[in-house]
Amino acid sequence: MTRQLLMFSRRQVIQSRNLDLNESIDGLMRMLQRLIGVTIHTEVKLHPEPLTVFADAGMLDQVLMNLSVNARDAMPEGGTLLIETSRKIVDEEMARLHADAVPGEYAWLSVSDTGTGIPPEVLPHIFEPFFTTKEAGKGTGLGLATVFGIVKQHKGWMKVYSELGRGTSFQIFLPLVAGPSVELAARATPLLRGGPETILLAEDEDAVRILAQGVLERFGYEVLVATDGVEALRLWHQHRARVSLLLTDLVMPGGLNGKQLARLLRDEKPELKIVYVSGYSAEIAGRELELHLGENFLQKPFPLDQLVDAVRRMLDGLPTNGRTG
């Protein structure tokens, strides 16, 4: 919640680089489909040319995840999720129609659904922190506020169209980059390594869990997935002999948090490596978390390459770029 509020207030530190919006979306689609479910048909229509934006990859992933989850919840009986990108030119006349717009060339991202739509009286409030029409326990009311904050932090702007009974479309405009190509940026990125080890992943946030599982499996790891500490402990008792690393959120429901889970597992297997993740900053989490040898901390939202690098370095016993014991 703290992380999402920081995003909304645009004070979250971002790690931006030149990236292709199309590539970011394409890389997420398999994981996104797991999150959306089989009752919803997903269509993707990407611009035929690269759309280079200067952005934080993890935050763009969060934008797409939040909008897709919002669309899923609006289609409880199933429907269609349409994700599109294009290149848009905003002229002076169009900019005058939208308070946050400035003339220029933009990468355009649209996430549309065929769901229930948003009532006209609700539409003006959807980006307000803690505003939600969902049942108690079904959401914090920060999902769309987070999206809004991330887009603003990237010097972009949004439009929303909705019609009751016919669906909703969120359209995002991000400034296009004129400069070094994505290929040059990619060549500057260190080569990431995976491995065959088994990782126990404990994370109650759907989007983070699915993203982390998907990227780690792509790098060759076997990933055992739990939605809370109790389920993780059950998986541990079944597979402890082959688990090399625990990747766990610090705060989880079910009465067993990440720190308690890690201590129980390390009592049985002292050589187990631990990577904690949390929406809290390292400074705030550090008040409750004293890291020991073989433990690391990553703050959400983290770029996926940072996660892969941290996991590999922990398994190899090397220094990491995160906060380490």
Q: Are 32 and 65 in contact (CB under 8 A)?
A: yes
**Residue 147: inside a domain:** yes
pLDDT of residue 192: 78
Helix (H, G, I), strand (E, B) or coil at 214: helix
My answer on whether 66 and 210 are in the same domain is no
**Residue 323: inside a domain:** no
My answer on whether 71 and 52 are in the same domain is yes
pLDDT of residue 321: 53
Measured in degrees and rounded to the nearest 5, phi and psi for residue 220 equal 100, -10
**Residue 4: inside a domain:** no
CA distance 90 to 52: 17
CATH number of domain containing 108: 3.30.565.10
pLDDT of residue 320: 61
CA distance 214 to 211: 5
**Residue 84: inside a domain:** yes
The count of domains in the chain is 2
Q: What tokens appear for 132 in the block?
A: 């939600």
My answer on whether 166 and 274 are in the same domain is no
Per-residue pLDDT of the chain (325 residues; tens, 9 = 90+): 444 444 444 444 457 889 999 999 998 887 788 888 889 999 999 999 999 999 988 888 889 988 998 899 899 999 999 999 999 998 888 888 887 888 899 999 999 999 999 988 888 878 776 555 555 444 444 568 888 888 998 999 999 999 999 999 999 999 999 754 444 344 344 577 899 999 999 998 877 788 788 889 989 999 999 999 999 999 999 999 999 999 999 888 888 999 999 999 999 999 999 999 987 654 444 445 677 788 889 887 677 778 899 999 999 988 665 555 5
pLDDT of residue 5: 43
Can you give the residue range of the structural domain that contains 266? 186-318
Give the residue from 82, 52, 83, 65 showing the smallest Cα distance to 150: 65
CA distance 189 to 186: 5
**Residue 3: inside a domain:** no
Q: Are 249 and 224 in contact (CB under 8 A)?
A: no
Q: What is the 3-state secondary structure (H, E, C) of 56-84?
A: EHHHHHHHHHHHHHHHHHCCCCCEEEEEE
